[in-house]
Amino acid sequence: MRNAQEVARFVTGHEHERVIAIDGPAAAGKSTVARLLADRLGALLFDTGALYRAVALSALRSGVFPEDEQSLSQLARDAQISVRPPSVQDGRLYDVWLNGEDVTWAVRDPMVGAIVSRVAEHAAVRAALLPLQRKIASSGPVVMVGRDIGTVVVPDAGLKVYLDATAEERARRRFREAAERGSTQSFDAVLQETLQRDATDSGRHTAPLRPASDAVQIDSDGISVDRIVAEIEELARAGRDAAGRPLWPS
Ligand code: CDP
């Protein structure tokens, strides 16, 4: 249980009071937790990582190098990307569409994972993807997942969570998921990619990965997904609007 002071931090009264920001490093379990939480709260789930992955996929397909900021930002501006509720029951948490094509699984390809952080480092790419993210944030109750939601995209989100776990634990989870989908990547390769992505995401100049000063930090090592979802749900339900009504009535 949180004490009254902590809960008071979520008494809000502004445009994004019904946005829940979940940030954290690669494979911390953000998307799984966010899917369950969004379903319980009747909110939309918007995983912003899918946007960066879609741009990285587009770059791979059109032969644009991860260093080529100008071409990448052009790709990001031209791409029609949408992230929406799952249309197929094949284990996906949401659909990702790129220029009229379902790329939900294509964006999870290890080749995309290998370059996505280098694509996401560029300020111009991030700027190109910002309007869509802000539009979603303003469109209604939403659980938004990413690296910089609480710090840059929606700094006035009603609730901010930073979900973390050790690199080994995160790599183990990612390795299991990938193996279930038939991937032949070794555990070491998955761990190296996780560490590499952490370093690039935390070390970049624009919108580096870090917890917002008012984020609730949750370490998910050894804690079940259900417990994490329950904890965040409890925090969300404690939130009140300016008139004192619950932001997320049960
Ligand atoms: O699912 P996973 O944790 O592996 O990664 P993701 O959320 O799909 O994000 C892929 C990459 O996109 C991250 O490693 C970041 O480089 C970038 N990203 C970002 O820079 N900002 C966001 N808001 C979301 C993702």
Tally Cβ neighbours within 10 Å of residue 123.
13
- Which residue has a Cα nearest atom 13 of ligand 1? 117
Tally Cβ neighbours within 10 Å of residue 70.
11
The amino acid at 111: M
Q: Which tokens is 31 given? A: 């998307």
The Cα–Cα gap between 75 and 70 comes to 9
Give the pLDDT of residue 6. Answer: 52
pTM above 0.85, yes or no: yes
Residue numbers in the chain where pLDDT is lower than 50: 1-5, 7-8, 11
Task: Report which ligand 1 atom has the smallest distance to the Cα of 197.
Answer: 14
CA 49 vs CA 46, 195, 205: distances in Å: 9, 17, 18
Give the pLDDT of residue 182. Answer: 87
Q: Which tokens is 111 given? A: 């080749």
Counting ligand 1 atoms within 8 A of each CB, the residue from 72, 107, 116 with the most, and so the one to mutate, is: 116
- Which residue has a Cα nearest atom 4 of ligand 1? 26
Give the pLDDT of residue 14. Answer: 77
Q: Are 72 and 119 in contact (CB under 8 A)?
A: yes
The Cα–Cα gap between 175 and 219 comes to 19
Task: Report which ligand 1 atom has the smallest distance to the Cα of 28.
Answer: 3
Counting ligand 1 atoms within 8 A of each CB, the residue from 94, 118, 147 with the most, and so the one to mutate, is: 147
- Which residue has a Cα nearest atom 9 of ligand 1? 49
Task: Report which ligand 1 atom has the smallest distance to the Cα of 50.
Answer: 8
Q: Are 218 and 137 in contact (CB under 8 A)?
A: no
- Which residue has a Cα nearest atom 23 of ligand 1? 146
